[in-house]
Amino acid sequence: MEMTTDALIAITVLWGFVFIYAVMATMDFGAGFWSMFYINKEKTNATNIANRYLSPTWEVTNVFIVAIVVALVSFFPGATFILGTVLLIPGSLILLLLAIRSGFLVFSHIAKSYEKALTYVSGITGFLIPGLLILVLPLTHGGYITVEDGLHRLQLLSLLTSPNALSFVAFAISSTLFLSSLLLADYSNVSDEPEAYYIYRRDALIMGPISLLMAFCIMLTMRTEAAWLYTRMMDYLPWLIGSVATFLVAGIAMYLPSRKSGRTGRPRIAVIAIVVQYLLASYAYGRAHLPYMIYPDVTIQSGFTHPNTFRALFITYIIGFAILFPGFIFFWKMFMGDKEYLRQKNS
Amino acid sequence: MDHLILARSLFGTTMGFHIIFATLGVGLPLMILCAELLFQKTKDRDYAIMAKRWTKGQAVLLGVAIPTGTIAGVQLALLWPGFMEVIGKVMALPFQIEIYAFFIEALFMSIYVYAYDRLTPRMRIFSVTLVMLGAAASAILITNVHAFEGTPAGFRILNGEITDVDPWAAFFNPSFFVTAAHVAVSAFMTGAFIIASIAAYKMLRNKNNERLYQFHRKALMMGLVIGGIFSLLTAFNGHESAQMLHEYQPEKLAAAEGLFETQSHAPFTLGGFTDRETQTVKGGIEIPWLLSFLSGDSFDTVVIGLNDFPEEYWPPLFVHTLFNVMIIIGTFLIMLSVAGFVWRKFLKKDRFPKVFMWAFVLSGPLSLIAVEFGWIFACTGRQPWVIYRIQKTADVVTSSEQIGVLFILFSLVYAILGIAVVLVLLYYFKKNPVEKDIAKAANKDINV
Ligand code: HDD
Ligand code: HEM
Ligand code: HEM
C-alpha cells in the first residue's frame, strides 16, 4: 500500500500528540488517584505533592486530548467518519467521566471542607478514564466493526470480552499508576520530601513489573486476536527488546544511591528511561500498525484530508509551535524548575 | 422522539450548557485585566482584591467550561460524522488554530493563578492579557466554523466529491468578521454585566456598611461602563449581522421577522407569535418601514418574505421570539448602563433608587439569556441545513442508536455540574468574604 509523505507527516504528528497525551494523561489521572489514595495520611505530604503537580497542569493536559481529536478530524476526515460513528457509546462514556473528573478536581481544591468526598469522586472517575480511552487501540485492530447496509456498527460486547482488549485495559490502568508514581517520586525528590519520596518509590517498584507483565499479556493475546499486527510487530523486535532493556535501566536507577540527596534511587534517570521505554514500544506498535488506521478498511491514505487543507494546516503547525514554545518553557520554569514553588511546605 | 430530534436535542443541550461558561470565560478575563490595570494606575487595593476574587471565580468556572467544551468538540464528530468529514477537508484551520489559543489560555491561566505571588505586576498584566486574548481567540475561531455553516465558501461538491478546496477562502467566509465580532463583543458585555449584577446585589445587602458598599460600587461602575460600551458595540454589530442575513440567508431573516410577503418598505414587528396559517404575527407591534431600513439602510430595500421559499426550507417560526428577546435585552441594557452612569457621574448621586438596583441585579442574567437565545436562533434558524444549501442536518446525523439514553445521561451530568459549581462558588465566597480580603490587604499595608 502506498503512503505519501504528506500522510506520513500527518500520522507522525497525530502519533506525537497521542504519545504526549498518553504520558501527560497517565501522570495526570495517576496523580489524581494517588492524591485520593493518600488523603488520610496527613503527615506524609504525599497528597499535597500530587496536588501541587496536578493543579497547574490538568488544563494543559486536557488541551492535548482536544488536539488529538482536532488532528484526527483535520488530517483524516475519512477515518473520523467511521470512528465517530462507532465510538458514540464508548466515547460518550469517556466524555461523561471526564466532565465529572475535571469538575470535581477543581471543586475539591476550592471547597476545602468537602475536599475528601470531592477528591474521591475525581480520583475514581479519573482512574477509569485511561482504561476506557485505550479501547480505541484494539478497536482499530479489526474484527469489532461490522458493516450492514453500508452502516458501521461496533460490536461492543465482543470488544469488552476480548482477552486482548482486556489486556489493553489492564495495561492502561497499571501504567497509569506506574508512570504517575514514578513521576511523583521524582517530584517529591526534587521537592525534598523524603517521606513522600519513599512512598512513591515503593509504589513505582510495585507497579512497574505489573505493567510490564500486562504488556506481555497484550502481546500474547494479540498473537491470536490480531495476528496481522503481531507478525508485523515482530519485524520490530529490536525496538521491543530495547524497550524492555530501558525498563531494566529504570529499575536499576531506582536502587542506585544518590550522593546529592543521600537517598536511595535516582528517580530522574528512571523517569527518562521509562519515557524512552514507552517511546520505543509505541514506535514499534505504531510502525507495525501502518498503513492501517482501522484494519482493514481505512488506511492513512484512504482517509486523508484534501492536500490543500493539509498544506495550510502544516504552515499553521509551524507558526503555532514557534509561538507556543516560549510559553511552554516559561510554564516549565514556573512549576517544574522553580525550587521555591516545589519546596513550599504547606499548600 | 425520532433519532434526528434526539441528536439535535443532545447537541443543543451541550452547547447551551457550554456557552454559559464559555461566554464568562471570555468576558471575565477582560474584567480581571481592567481591574489589574486600574490597580496599577490608582494603587487602590480594592481593585487588586477584585482581580483576585474574580480570578478565583473564573478558575472554578473553567472546571466546567473546559470539560463541556471538550464534550462539544468530540460530540461534533460523534453525532454529526458526515458534517465533520466536510469540515476536516475544508474548514480544519479554525479548529487547528483554536488549539493554540487554548494552549495560550491554559498555560497563562495556570501561571496567573498558581504563580500569582511570584510574578511582577507587569508579568501579571501580561499573563491576564494573554488569557483574555486566548479566550477571545478561541471564541472567534469556533464561531468561524458556525459562520462557515451559514455562508459556506472555499469548496465545491461535484458528484458527491469535494473539490476545489481553498482552506483560506473557507476561513475568510463572508460572515466571519461580522459573526465573530458579534460573539466577542456580546461576551465582553455579558462578563461585565455579570459583575455588575453581583455588585448590585451585594450593595443591596450591605447598605449600612459604608466600606463594603463603596467597594461594590466601584465594581458596579466598572461593570456598567464596560458593559455599556460593549452593549453599544453589540447592537451596532447586530445590525450588521441582520444585514448579513438579508444578503446571505434571507429566509432566516424572514423567519426572524415573521415576514411572509416579499416587499419594500417592510415593517419591523416587535413581539407576538408567528402564525403559519394566517401568515401573520399575532399580537406584535408593527413599526412601519423599519425592517427595510435595517436590512439595507433605505426604506425601499426589498426584503424577501418566506413565501418566496419552498416551505420545506423554512426555519422554525418560533425563532421570531428568540430574535426579539435578544434585541429587546440589548436595547434595554444600553439604556440601563447609560442611565446608571449619568446618575452616578453627572448627577453625582451617592445612592441608586431601588428599581435601578434591581435592574442592575438582573442585567447579568439578562445578558446570558440574550446569548442563549441568540445562539439557539442562529443554529435553529439554519435548519434544515447544517451547511447552508449544501448539506442537510438529516443527512449527516450518526447512524448509531441509543441517543435517547445518552441524552438523559448527559443532561444528568450537566445538572450535577451546574448545581455543584453554584454550590462551590457560594461556599467559597461565603468562607472568604470581601471583609477578610480587605483586612488582609490592610495588614499588608502595615507590614510593607
Ligand atoms: C449579550 C448578548 C447579545 C445581545 C444583547 C445581542 N446579541 Fe445578537 N447574538 C448574540 C448575542 C447577543 C450571540 C449569542 O452571540 C449570537 C448567536 C450567534 C452569533 O453569531 O451571535 C447572536 C446572533 C445574532 C444574529 C444572527 C446571526 C446568524 O444567524 O448568524 C443577529 C442577526 C443578531 N444577533 C442581531 C442582534 C441585534 C440586532 C441586536 C440588538 C441589540 C443583538 N443581536 C443583541
Ligand atoms: C455555543 C452556543 C451554541 C448554542 C447554544 C447552539 C445551539 C444549538 C442547537 C439548539 C442546535 C440544534 C438545532 C435544532 O435542532 O434546531 C444546534 C445544532 C448545531 N450547532 Fe449550534 N449552538 C451553539 C454554537 C455552535 C457553534 C459555535 C457551532 C459551530 C461549530 C455550532 C454547530 C452546530 C451544529 C453542527 C449543529 C448540528 C446540526 C444542526 O442542527 O444544524 N453550534 N446548536
Ligand atoms: C461560540 C461559542 C463558544 C465560545 C464563546 C467558546 C469559548 C470557550 C472558552 C472561553 C473555553 C475555555 C478555554 C480554555 O480555558 O482553554 C472553551 C473551551 C472549549 N471549547 Fe468552547 N466555545 C464555544 C463553542 C464551542 C464549540 C461549538 C466547541 C466544539 C467544537 C467548543 C469546543 C471547546 C473545547 C474543546 C474546549 C476545551 C478546551 C480545553 O481543553 O482547554 N466550544 N470554549
CA distances from A108 to B114, B231, B278, B423, B432 (A): 16, 36, 57, 12, 16
Segment B43-62 shows an average pLDDT of 92
Segment B182-201 shows an average pLDDT of 97
Sort out which chain B residues have CB atoms less than 8 A from A80's CB and list them: 77, 81, 84-85, 88
**pLDDT at residue A96 tops 50:** yes
**pLDDT at residue A273 tops 70:** yes
Q: Supply the pLDDT for residue B445.
A: 54
What distance in angstroms lies between residue B16's CA and the mean position of ligand 2's atoms? 9
Q: Supply the pLDDT for residue B343.
A: 87
Q: Supply the pLDDT for residue B360.
A: 94
Q: pLDDT category, B352, cuts 50, 70, 90?
A: confident
Range name among A107-121, B321-335, B362-376 with the lowest pLDDT average = A107-121
Nearest neighbour of B93 by CB, restricted to A76, A85, A316: A316
**pLDDT at residue B91 tops 60:** yes
Dump pLDDT digits (tens) for B387-400: 998 898 888 888 88
Nearest neighbour of B93 by CB, restricted to A60, A313, A340: A313
Segment A143-170 shows an average pLDDT of 87
Cβ proximity of B58 and B29 under 8 Å: yes
Answer whether B150 contacts ligand 1 (Cβ < 6 A).
yes
Is residue A109 included in any domain, yes or no? yes
Q: Supply the pLDDT for residue B448.
A: 30
Q: pLDDT category, B365, cuts 50, 70, 90?
A: very high
Return the closest-CA partner of residue B156 out of B165, B168, B146, B145.
Answer: B165
Average pLDDT along chain A: 86
**pLDDT at residue A277 tops 80:** yes
Segment A44-49 shows an average pLDDT of 71
Q: pLDDT category, A323, cuts 50, 70, 90?
A: confident
Q: What percent of chain A has a predicted confidence (pLDDT) above 70?
A: 94
Position with higher pLDDT, B346 vs B195: B195
Is residue A145 included in any domain, yes or no? yes
Is residue A97 included in any domain, yes or no? yes
Sort out which chain A residues have CB atoms less than 8 A from B166's CB and list them: 308
Is residue A292 included in any domain, yes or no? yes
Is residue A282 included in any domain, yes or no? yes
To test ligand 1's pocket by mutation, which of B182, B197, B229, B331 has the most ligand atoms within 8 angstroms of CB?
B182
Answer whether B16 contacts ligand 2 (Cβ < 6 A).
yes
**pLDDT at residue B422 tops 70:** yes
Domain coverage including residue A53 = 5-342
Segment A223-233 shows an average pLDDT of 89
Q: Supply the pLDDT for residue B323.
A: 94
Nearest CA to ligand 2 atom 33: B379
Q: Which atom of ligand 2 is nearest to the CA of B16?
A: 5
Q: Supply the pLDDT for residue B446.
A: 43
Position with higher pLDDT, B295 vs B145: B145
Range name among A92-96, A278-282, B310-314 with the lowest pLDDT average = B310-314
What distance in angstroms lies between residue B374's CA and the mean position of ligand 1's atoms? 5
Cβ proximity of A19 and A279 under 8 Å: yes
Is residue A347 included in any domain, yes or no? no
- Grid coordinates belonging to B69: 467544551
Q: Which atom of ligand 2 is nearest to the CA of B316?
A: 16
Q: Find the closest chain A residue to B10 by CA distance.
A: A92
Q: Which atom of ligand 2 is nearest to the CA of B386?
A: 41
Q: What percent of chain A has a predicted confidence (pLDDT) above 90?
A: 37
Among the bound ligands, name the one nearest to the CA of residue B324.
Answer: 1
Q: Supply the pLDDT for residue A330.
A: 85
What distance in angstroms lies between residue B379's CA and the mean position of ligand 2's atoms? 5
Is residue A249 included in any domain, yes or no? yes
Is residue A142 included in any domain, yes or no? yes
Segment A287-300 shows an average pLDDT of 86
pTM of the model: 0.91
Instruction: Quote the CA–CA distance of A134 and A171 in Å, as a whole number.
Output: 9
Instruction: Quote the CA–CA distance of B439 and A262 in Å, as a whole number.
Output: 44
Q: Supply the pLDDT for residue A347.
A: 41
Cβ proximity of B116 and B54 under 8 Å: no
What distance in angstroms lies between residue B357's CA and the mean position of ligand 3's atoms? 33
Q: Supply the pLDDT for residue B285.
A: 87
What distance in angstroms lies between residue B139's CA and the mean position of ligand 3's atoms? 7
CA A97 to chain centre: 16
Contact A91 B74 (CB under 8 A): yes
- Checking phi first, is residue B272 left (phi over 0); if not, alpha (psi -120 to 50) or beta? left
Position with higher pLDDT, A264 vs B175: B175
Among the bound ligands, name the one nearest to the CA of residue B139.
Answer: 3
Dump pLDDT digits (tens) for B289-330: 888 888 888 888 889 989 888 888 889 989 999 999 999 999
Q: Supply the pLDDT for residue B1.
A: 57
Dump pLDDT digits (tens) for B228-243: 999 999 999 999 999 9
Answer whether B66 contacts ligand 3 (Cβ < 6 A).
yes
What's the total number of domains in chain A? 1
Sort out which chain A residues have CB atoms less than 8 A from B110's CB and list them: 55-57, 59-60, 331, 335
Q: Supply the pLDDT for residue A43.
A: 58
Answer whether B79 contacts ligand 3 (Cβ < 6 A).
no
Instruction: Quote the CA–CA distance of B187 and B231 in Å, as a whole number.
Output: 10
